[in-house]
Amino acid sequence: MGQLALAAKVTHVPSMYLSELPGDRHGTRQDAINGHLEISRRCRALGVDTIVVFDTHWLVNANYHLNCAPRWSGTYTSNELPHFISNMEYGFSGNPELGRLLARTCSEQGVETLAHDATTLAPEYGTLVPMRYMNADKHFKVISVSALCTSHYLNDSARLGWAMREAVEKHYDGKVAFLASGSLSHRFAQNGLAPEFAFKIWSPLLEKLDDEVIRMWKSGEWSDFCAMLPEYATKGHGEGFMHDTAMLLGALGWSAYDGKAEVVTPYFAASGTGQINAIFPVTPQDGQAVPQPEASRATSYRSFSRI
């Protein structure tokens, strides 16, 4: 029987890579990098063998998808911010067996999910940036999960998170970490103002909203947070519509979760957006509070075989 050993919400800002390079931004994201190194240290101490990343830079328009190829390597340049991440080398191993198990269990629980283990699809930087600092020595296997979901219900994402936890705990022989890779508020600075907002949140309203959310996380107000998540995702400009956060909280038990977040990198601003590294202790849960899937219960829903 396996174990969900660690859960965390993590930043993947490309300025972390820029922070490594000579120039004006050198060293400016060391706190965020140190947070990743601390999460890696804890995963190693817990015996984690695979990190599953809910990646808000992997955009999908239908179904949920897992990239669980046996291995990846290459050189990555961001199409979004090529002046921040350019020619960044990467390489690590996947976990096809676990990926297929996760996808099958999610689909069985009404959230249609496809595992891609024979693919040329490369990970996005929501996976690559955290793994650069957490997994430089290729210690962990990695699975990337699509979490920029354009046409999906947050309830389905929550159910996906819980189904993945059950797959690990009931059918996997090993220890796994789940990472929600995405920001809090994600309102980028208007074009031309990015340098001015490199270390500032776009608006005082969004900063206050993020501060309140972090306070709720630290005090364990999960029922209230889960109730406000749909509005926070839209009105607070949550990255990837906050599907990564819904996945993480679904795995933790949703509104019944009784842990309190531990901040390992304090809240910081990047190009107008709000960022954090925070660990969520995994507590025993029965899943009763996790929402039922939405899409598969709709009267017009049809399940299609893989194309």
How far CA 200 is from CA of 30, 38, 185, 207, 209, in Å, comes to 17, 25, 12, 9, 14
C-alpha distances (whole Å) from 280 to each of 10, 195, 257 are 11, 33, 10
Average pLDDT of 259-270? 98
Tokens at residue 117, please?
């283990």
State the first-to-last Cα distance of the chain, in angstroms, to the nearest integer: 33
Q: Over 60: is that where the pLDDT of 16 sits?
A: yes
**Which SS3 state, helix, strand or coil, does residue 217 take?**
helix
pLDDT band at 58 (very low <50, low <70, confident <90, very high): very high
pTM: 0.96
- What digits encode the pLDDT tens for the residues 137-163? 999 999 999 999 999 999 999 999 999
Say which residues have a Cβ less than 8 Å from residue 123's Cβ, sequence separation at least 6: 53, 55, 58, 67, 72, 90, 131, 142, 144
The angle formed by the CA atoms of residues 115, 121 and 127, to the nearest 5 degrees, is: 85
Pairing of strands 3-10, 262-270: unpaired
Query: Count of CB atoms within 10 A of residue 204's CB?
Result: 8
- Does residue 306 register a pLDDT over 70? no
Residue 69 phi/psi, 5-degree rounding, is -60, 155
CA distance 28 to 36: 15
User: What share of the chain in percent tops pLDDT 70?
Assistant: 98
* Contact between residue 254 and residue 212 where contact means Cβ atoms under 8 Å apart: no
**Contact assessment for residue 187 and residue 18, using Cβ atoms and an 8 Å cutoff:** no
Take residue 93 and report the two structure tokens written for it. 């191993």
Nearest to 236 by CA among 288, 192, 273, 281: 273
Residues ≥6 apart with Cβ < 8 Å to 64: 106, 111, 112, 113, 114, 145, 146, 149, 152, 156, 157, 160
Structure tokens at 201: 């949140």
Residue (of 236, 239, 238) closest to 206 by Cα position: 236
Question: pLDDT tens, 70-84?
Answer: 999 999 999 999 999
* Cα distance between residue 203 and residue 167, in whole Å: 41
Residue-by-residue DSSP string for 169-205:
HHH-SSEEEEEEE--SB--PPPTT-TTTTTTSBS-HH
Tens of pLDDT along 267-300? 999 999 999 999 999 999 999 999 999 999 877 7
Q: Which two tokens stand for residue 294?
A: 């939405």
Q: What is the CA radius of gyration of the chain?
A: 18
**Crossing angle between the packed helical segments 125-134 and 30-46, to the nearest 10 degrees:** 70
